[in-house]
Structure 1
Amino acid sequence: MPVTPLCAPAPAWQRDDALPLLAAFALLLPMVLLMPALPIDETRYLAVAWEMRQSGDFLVPHLNGATYAHKPPLLFWLINAGWLVTGVQAWTARAMTLACSSASLALMHRLAWRLSGSVAVARLATWLLAGTLYFGLFANAIMFDVPLATCVLLALLGVCDLVAGRMRRGVLVTGAAIGLGILVKGPVMLLDIACVALLAPWWSLGRLDGRRAAYFGALGVALLLGAAIALAWAIPAALHGGEDYARAIFLKQTLDRIQGVKGTSAHGRPWWWYLAVFPLMVLPWPLVVRGGIGALRARLRELQLDVLDWRWPAALCGRASAAWRCGIAWLVPTFVVFSLVSGKQPHYLLPLIPALALLIALGLESAQLRLRGGLFGAVLVLLGLGVASLRLWPLGRTAQAYADLIAPWWGLAVIVLGGVLLGWRRRLPLALPVVVTLALALVIKLVIVQGPGARYDITPMAQRIADLQAQGHPVANLGWHHGVYEFAARLHEPVPAFDTVADFAVWAQQHPDAYVATFYRQFRFRAKPVFTQPFRGGEVSLWKAGDALASGIDPSLSHAVEDADAGEE
C-alpha cells in the first residue's frame, strides 16, 4: 500500500466514483416517499419539530407542551427548514436524513482516498459503506445518528488536514464538525472522534514528528471552536428553558449515558452486548468477506511490530499504511469505549461502520481479503423460506398479529435475492452484494408498509383526538404517549399524560366532558370504548372519561404494559 502525503490534491471525480452513491440513492429514495413515520422514536421527533414550528420557539425544543431536553435542536431545525420548502410532510424529514447519508458516502470516498492515496480503496470503501445492512436500514430514518455519522466523517477529514499541516483549514473543518455534531446529538460526538484524533501520532507514520505540540494545540483550538458553536445555542437555551432544562442539557443527559452497567441510564446493557450486535449490523460483510489465515497472521505481525516501536522508524512505514492504522485507531478503542458505556443501542455504533468499511477496503485492494457470495446467498434463501412460512410458525399472540399481516410472497423476493448471490459464488463483484443488501433493506421496509405498517399508523386515533379538541372536549392519556398523536393529526393542543388513575380522576373531575385515551393495557377500562384501533402489538382506545372511571380497570388485562420499554434514545 503506497504511503502518500495526506495533503495531496484530490483526484478528479469520475463516473465510477459516483456509482455507489447512485445505487444507494435509487434503492433508498422510494422509502422516503412511502414509509410512514414509525413510532415511537420517529413520531416523537416529528412531534418535537412540529411543536417547534407551532410555538415559534426554535431555541428550546418542546414535546407535548413541556421542554424536551433529551436531544439538541439541529435535526429539528433541519426538518423545519425543509418544511419551508415542501410544507409539513413526514417525507421531508426522511429526505433530510437521506441527504446526510449521501453526504456520508461522499465523505467516506474523500477520507479513504486522503488516508490511502488509492482511488481504488476510496471506491471500495464507499461501496462497502453503502452496502452495509444497517446503513441501508437507517439511511433515510428520522434518527440523530445519521447526521451524526456525517459530522464524524467531516471531523476526521479535518483531522487529516491538521496532520498534513493545513492548520487553518483543519481547525475550521474539525471545529465546525464538532460543533454541528454536538448540536445533533450532544457530547457523544467527542467519543466518536476522540480516539482517532488523539492517536494521530501513531497512525500518521511520522508525519507529526517535530510537530506534535502544534498538532495538539490546533486540535485543542478546534475543540474550543466546536464548544463555542454548541454553547452559542446551549447557553441562551438554558437561560430561556429554566433551571431544570439547563441541568438536563448540561449534566443529566451526558452523565446518565456514561454510568456503569448498573447505573440509571436508559437502555443499560452489559459490556459484551455490542460484540453480539455489531456483526449483525455490518451484514453482509461477515458472511461475504474471506481472507487467508497466512496473510492475516502476517498483517497482525507487522502491526504488532509497529505498535511496539513507538519511534515509528521510516523502515517500518511501508509495513502498515496510515490508512490501516487510522482504521484500527478509529474502530477498536472507540468500540471499547462505547462497550464500557452503560446505555447501548445498535444505532449508537452507526458512526463506526465507516471505520470497518475502510479496513475491509484496504484488505480487498491489497488482495489479503476476497469476496464469496455463497454463504450470504444461502442465508438469504433460508431467511426467505422462513418469511414465506411465517404464518405456520407457533408464535405468541403479539408476534402472530404481525405475522398474519406479512404476505408469504415477500419471502419469495428474499429467496430470489439469495439465488442471485448463489449464482455468483466465485469471482463475486463487490457491487452485487451491495445492491442485494440495499434491495433487502428495501424489501424489509416494503414489508412494513404493506403489512404491519397499519399497526404503526396512529393517524385514525390522532384525528379523533383532534376532532374532540376542536369541539372543546379535553383529551388526556393514561400513561406517557411519547407524542405519537401530535404530528399525526397536527395537534395544536397538548394531550396531558397521567401515570396513575388517581391523578387522572382528579383531572377528570375538573373536566366533566373530557375523554381519555390509552395504549397501555394496564389502564384498559371495562367500559366500551368509543373508538379502538390496532397499535403495534396491542390496541389504542378512547373512552369518555366519566364512563371509564365509573367502570373501573379490567384486572384481566392488567398484566401487560404496551411500550413500557420505549425510553428516550
Structure 2
Amino acid sequence: MVTNRPGRRTWRKIFLARWWQRRRTHIVLFVWAAIYLPGLGSLEIKGEEGRRILPAVTMLQTGNYLVPYVGSEPYFRKPPLVNWIVAASFKLSGIRSEWTARLPSALAILVVALTFVTCGRRALGTIGSLLAALIWLVNAGNTEKGRLIEIEAIYVSLTAIAFIFWIAAYRAERTGGQLWLLPAIFLGLGMLAKGPLPHLLFFYGPVIAVLWSDRKLSLLATREHGTALIIMFGMFLAWALPAFLLSDWGRVAHVWSRQYTGRVSSSGFQFSSWIQNIPRGLVYFLPWLPLALLQFDQPVELRRRHFALLTGIAVPFVLVNLIPGALPRFGMPALGPASWWLGELLAHDNLRWPQWLSGKTLAPRLRNRIAVVLVVLGCIWGLAYGLIAVPLLRKHEKVRQHARQIDAIVPTNVALYAVNPKYQPYLFYVRAPLRYVSTIEQLPIDTKFFLVQGSDEEEAQTTKHWSPSRAQMVLRIKDYREHEEVLFSVPSPR
C-alpha cells in the first residue's frame, strides 16, 4: 500500500494539471458573468453614458457615422469609436436599451481576460496567466467602468490587449513585424476611442523600461516600429481629417485645445482634490494591491527585469496623476500592464513578504487560497449588486421620469423636434421619433410638438412661424442638473 501512494499522487497531480488547463477559460467566463452581467441593463443611463449613446442613435437615424452629434451640435470632445460600437450593438441586436448599450464594455473586459489566458500562457505559465486574468476581472476599476458604456472600459481594454500582444511576443523573442504590428492596430483603435496621447504613455512606459533593462532600445528604431507608428496614427487620421474637413476647423481646434490644455493648466486647480489623485487612483487596483509588496528570491537578472516592468508601469501612473487637471481615472490604462506584472509575480513559488512586514514566506497553497477568496468575494459582490442593490437604486432614478412625462403627451407616431437641446440624457427614453434642429426658425411648418431650453421659452411663445397659430406650452421639465426644458405643442390650423 505504501509504495502505491506516490503513484496515486502523481496521477492526481497530472489529472488536476490537465483539468485546470482545460478549465481556465471556463473559470474566466464564470467569474466575468458573475461580476459584469447581473443587472447590467437595469439602471438608467447616468454620467457621461448619454454622450456615448445619443450620438450612436443619431448615426443610425441619419447614416452619418463620420461626425458624432449630441443633439443638434457636432461632438468633437472625443473620437467616435465608442459611438460606433454602441451603434453596432443596437444594429446587430435590433434592440436599443441600456443592456445592449453597455454590453460592449463588459465584452471588452472579457476579451482582455481571455487574451491573458491564451496569448499570455507561454510567458506567464498556466497559473500566472490565470491569475493575471482574474486580477484583471476582479479589481475596483474594471468592475466600476466595465458595467457602464464609458470610454474607459473600451480604451483601457484596447491598451491592455496591445500590451499583452507585445510583451508575449517579446518574451518569446520575436522581433520585427511580429513584435510591433499587432499592438499597433489596437493602439490605433485606442486613439479612435480617447485621442492620440493618453494610452500611449501607459503602453510605451513599460515597453521602454523593459527594453532599457535588456539593453534593446534599438528595437524602437527599427523599420517595423516606424511602420507600426504610421499604422496607429494613420488609423486616427483616417477619421480625423475627413471629419474636420466637413466641420468648422476653428471650433474643432478650440475644442481639442481645451481638452489638452485644460488638463495641464492651473485654471480651476483644487489642491485638496489633486493631492488625492494618486491614493484614489490606487483604489482601482484593489483588492490585489497589498500583494504587490511580495518579493521572490530568484537570480538577480530576473528580479531586475521584474523591477524594470514595475518602474515602467509606475512612472506614467504617477506623472499623469500629478497633472493639475488630472482625475484618478486617467491612470486606469495601467491596469492591463499591472495585471500582467502581478500575475507574473504571484506565479512564483518562493514568495515572501518584505522584512518590514515580518519577512515570512507565502506558500503556494496559501497564495491560491487568497486568490480564490478575493475572486469569490468579487463574484458575491457582482451578484449582490445586480440582484439586491440595483432594484433599490431603481427607486431613485432621475432621468427616465422626464421621458415618461413627455410620452404621456406626445403620441408615439408623431415626431418630436428638439431645438438645440444640448445634452439631455432623458431623450434616449422618449418613444416618439426625435428630430434635432438648431433654431426655432428651422422647425417645419407641420411641427406638432417641439422642445426648447428654458432660455428660449419666450421666443417659442412669441414666434410667428405658424401664424396665425401660436405655440402653446404643455410641459415644463427641470432635470437633476437644474436645467429647464419646455415642451410646446402647435395647434393645427383651422
Q: Tell me, yes or no, whether TM beats 0.5.
A: yes
* Letter of the 1:173 counterpart: L
**Equivalences for 1:520-531 in 2 at 5 Å?**
none
Distance 2:232 2:486 in 1: 47
User: 1:325 pairs with 308, 326, 332, which one?
Assistant: 308
1:63-116 CA distances to partner (integer Å, 9 max, x unpaired)?
A: 1111111221111111211222211322112221111111111233456546x4
**Unpaired stretches in structure 1, ≥5 consecutive residues:** 1-10, 300-314, 371-423, 525-540, 546-569
SS in 2 for 1:430: helix
User: 2:279 pairs with 276, 280, 287, which one?
Assistant: 276
Structure 1 residues 120 and 522, CA, compared in 2 at 3 Å: closer, same or farther? closer
Please say if residues 17 and 123 of structure 1, whose CA atoms lie closer than 8 Å, have aligned partners that are also in contact.
Answer: yes
- 1:537 maps to none
1:104 aligns with 2:112: yes
1:230-266 CA distances to partner (integer Å, 9 max, x unpaired)?
A: 1101111111222245315653323333x13x2369x
SS in 1 for 2:434: coil
Structure 1 residues 128 and 244, CA, compared in 2 at 3 Å: closer, same or farther? same
User: 1:179 pairs with 188, 196, 207, which one?
Assistant: 188
Distance 2:481 2:233 in 1: 45
Deviation at 1:502, TM superposition (A): 5.3
User: 2:151 pairs with 134, 144, 154, which one?
Assistant: 144
1:492-541 CA distances to partner (integer Å, 9 max, x unpaired)?
A: 1347664xx655433443364134322268678xxxxxxxxxxxxxxxx9
Please say if residues 56 and 84 of structure 2, whose CA atoms lie closer than 8 Å, have aligned partners that are also in contact.
Answer: yes
- 1:354 maps to 336
User: 1:168 pairs with 168, 177, 185, which one?
Assistant: 177
Deviation at 1:167, TM superposition (A): 1.3
Distance 2:150 2:211 in 1: 34
1:159-197 CA distances to partner (integer Å, 9 max, x unpaired)?
A: 334683431233321221121001111122222213123
User: 1:263 pairs with 264, 267, 271, which one?
Assistant: 267
SS in 1 for 2:202: helix
Please say if residues 155 and 178 of structure 1, whose CA atoms lie closer than 8 Å, have aligned partners that are also in contact.
Answer: yes
- 1:506 maps to 459
SS in 1 for 2:476: strand
SS in 1 for 2:211: helix
- 1:368 maps to 351
Structure 1 residues 361 and 472, CA, compared in 2 at 3 Å: closer, same or farther? closer
- 2:373 maps to 432
Q: TM-score, normalised by structure 1?
A: 0.66
1:240 aligns with 2:193: no
* Letter of the 1:195 counterpart: G
User: 1:85 pairs with 76, 92, 97, which one?
Assistant: 92
Please say if residues 108 and 153 of structure 1, whose CA atoms lie closer than 8 Å, have aligned partners that are also in contact.
Answer: no
* Letter of the 1:285 counterpart: W
Distance 2:483 2:136 in 1: 45
Distance 2:286 2:65 in 1: 39
1:437-472 CA distances to partner (integer Å, 9 max, x unpaired)?
A: 232134234444211223326333214325645568
Deviation at 1:23, TM superposition (A): 2.5
- 2:126 maps to 119
- 1:52 maps to 59
**Equivalences for 1:389-468 in 2 at 5 Å?**
428-456=369-397, 458-466=399-407, 468=409
Structure 1 residues 118 and 226, CA, compared in 2 at 3 Å: closer, same or farther? same
* Letter of the 1:263 counterpart: S
SS in 2 for 1:189: helix
% same residue: 19
Please say if residues 125 and 361 of structure 1, whose CA atoms lie closer than 8 Å, have aligned partners that are also in contact.
Answer: yes
Structure 1 residues 543 and 68, CA, compared in 2 at 3 Å: closer, same or farther? closer
- 1:94 maps to 102
**Unpaired stretches in structure 2, ≥5 consecutive residues:** 1-17, 354-364, 437-449, 464-469, 490-494
- 1:306 maps to none
Please say if residues 32 and 94 of structure 1, whose CA atoms lie closer than 8 Å, have aligned partners that are also in contact.
Answer: no
- 1:535 maps to none
- 1:199 maps to 209
Structure 1 residues 353 and 273, CA, compared in 2 at 3 Å: closer, same or farther? same
Structure 1 residues 433 and 520, CA, compared in 2 at 3 Å: closer, same or farther? closer
Please say if residues 209 and 311 of structure 2, whose CA atoms lie closer than 8 Å, have aligned partners that are also in contact.
Answer: no
**Equivalences for 1:548-567 in 2 at 5 Å?**
none
User: 1:39 pairs with 43, 46, 59, which one?
Assistant: 46
Q: How many pairs are equivalent?
A: 434
Q: TM-score, normalised by structure 2?
A: 0.76
1:284-321 CA distances to partner (integer Å, 9 max, x unpaired)?
A: 2246x3857xx58x89xxxxxxxxxxxxxxx842443x
Distance 1:139 1:518 in 2: 30
**Equivalences for 1:59-78 in 2 at 5 Å?**
59-78=66-85
Structure 1 residues 340 and 110, CA, compared in 2 at 3 Å: closer, same or farther? farther
- 1:519 maps to 479
Structure 1 residues 284 and 157, CA, compared in 2 at 3 Å: closer, same or farther? closer
Deviation at 1:268, TM superposition (A): 9.3
Distance 1:458 1:318 in 2: 54
Distance 1:117 1:239 in 2: 47
Structure 1 residues 53 and 364, CA, compared in 2 at 3 Å: closer, same or farther? same
Structure 1 residues 505 and 342, CA, compared in 2 at 3 Å: closer, same or farther? farther
Distance 2:481 2:343 in 1: 50
Deviation at 1:158, TM superposition (A): 4.5
Structure 1 residues 473 and 20, CA, compared in 2 at 3 Å: closer, same or farther? closer
Please say if residues 112 and 323 of structure 1, whose CA atoms lie closer than 8 Å, have aligned partners that are also in contact.
Answer: no
- 1:376 maps to none
